[in-house]
Amino acid sequence: MDIHEYQAKEILSGFGVPVPRGGLAYSPEQAAYRAREIGGDAWVVKAQIHSGGRGKAGGVKVCQDEHQVYDAADELFGKRLVTHQTGPKGKVVYRVYVEGAALIEREIYLGFVLDRKTERVMVVASAAGGMEIEEISATRPDSIIRSVIEPAVGIRDFQVREVAFKLGLKPAQITQAVNTIKGCYRAFRELDATMVEINPLVVTSDDAIVALDAKMTFDDNALFRHPSVSELRDKSQEDPRESQAADRGLSYVGLDGKIGCIVNGAGLAMATMDMIELAGGKPANFLDIGGGASPERVAKAFRLVMSDGDVEAILVNIFAGINRCDWVAEGIIQALEANPVNVPVIVRLAGTHVEEGRKILSKSGLPIIRAATLKEAAERAVAAWKNDSKHNVKMVASS
């Protein structure tokens, strides 16, 4: 789960990380009022969306007076920002964050991530802040500093000081950097985060270290332990299909293909998507309905997949271990009878009671295309999709 910049700053501030004074606004009038509250002679108005690269997309504006703050907020509200992370559809701005402008002397990148290779939390830092980490890695790879944290003892002071010294900070700034890095790690560990990123972490003209921007991502599976974090979820920033799936206990990721996938097990779902690609098609989604593929869950999955108007075929690939293929077959039939679909449906069943499941499908009388293997299922799904697409094109042309 992602959260907004202002929410991440509020959390990190509670762990001792210094952040600029700011305030949230839901209207241009409120934005101007926030500027008066903050004081000073310059402010920054930031669009609050779940994406990096907001500045390049026009989502960050520096203002010199309250009128400029009002105008900047007025321009941002309702605007659809398109960044390299949002995709072509972009994300709509419903709130802005106003904070006092800082006199920046230098910018630093600081991040905490789960490193899959070492199975540890890793500190990633660079003296080349203000750029995306991918850009830093491509243009200045030598500037990237990495330090692995041993989970048994946590982050140690010598590790933090080593990172601070490698960043080229002055002696007067080392203590501030140590407290900031340790505060970020505590927030990461105690709140079950999967990513904490401050970019940029700036050194101001008076030698203060301040988190000018902040991002945090949390482990969905641990949110039950942190209700205060769970409440920060903003569904307006999520794909509505993914949000709907999460609320129903399904794992769903929307893609840009035409063949919808209903699969049990994440590994099998990935293999199914790969086979569709190899057969010449493109998956419309990743959907893992889990091990308990009950009729109700199958019906929910069908409704979810068909809510995507771009889906032109559905491939159901179930390997029944704890589950049973005959139960799954009954669920598929119930789902199709209750909610008929107007696209080809391809079903491949394997595992426990597979023969019984195949008999149920064959006796149903429904136009289900059956397959015995995953390769066969993918090929038949792509062929059915192409044939159905050609038929639809002819129908449109003739009408």
Q: Give the CATH number for residue 321.
A: 3.40.50.261
- Residues 251, 211 share a domain: no
User: Which of 72, 83, 82, 161 lies closest to 123, judged by CA?
Assistant: 161
Q: Which of 212, 238, 264 is the last residue of a domain?
A: 238
- Report whether 150 belongs to an annotated binding site: no
- SS3 label, residue 203: strand
In a domain, 10, yes or no: yes
Per-residue pLDDT tens over the stretch 268-303? 999 999 999 999 999 999 988 876 666 777 888 888
Provide the CATH number for the domain around residue 168.
Answer: 3.30.470.20
- 322 band by pLDDT with thresholds 50, 70 and 90: confident
Question: Is 1 in the same domain as 130?
Answer: yes
Nearest-Å Rg of the Cα atoms of the chain is: 26
Question: Which residues are known to be catalytic?
Answer: 109, 197
Give CA angle at 207 (205, 212), nearest 5°. 75
Is 398 a member of any domain? no
Q: Which of 42, 59, 41 is nearest to 50 (CA)?
A: 59
Number of H helices, E strands in the chain: 13, 18
For residue 384, the enclosing domain spans 240-393
Domain closes at, from 84, 101, 118 = 101
Average pLDDT, integer, range 322-327: 82
Half-sphere exposure of 306 (CA within 13 A, CB side): 16
Task: Convert the pLDDT of each residue in 153-187 to its tens digit.
Answer: 999 999 999 999 999 999 889 999 999 999 999 99
Q: Are residue 224 and residue 272 in the same domain, yes or no?
A: no
- Residues 42, 120, single domain; the answer is no
Backbone angles phi, psi at 60, to 5 degrees: -130, 125
Whole-prediction pTM: 0.76
pLDDT above 60 for 397:
no
Q: CATH number of the domain at 53, please.
A: 3.30.1490.20
Q: Considering 238, 254, 270, which residue would you say is the last residue of a domain?
A: 238
Same domain, 304 and 259: yes
Half-sphere exposure of 387 (CA within 13 A, CB side): 9
The Cβ-side half-sphere exposure at 42, using a 13 Å CA radius, reads 5
- Same-domain status, 26 and 146: no
58 is in an annotated binding site: no
Report pLDDT digits (tens) over 213-272. 999 999 988 999 999 999 999 888 877 777 777 766 677 888 889 999 999 888 999 999
pLDDT in tens, 348-395: 999 888 999 999 999 988 989 999 999 999 999 999 999 875 545 433
199 is in an annotated binding site: yes
Answer yes or no: is 87 a known binding residue: no
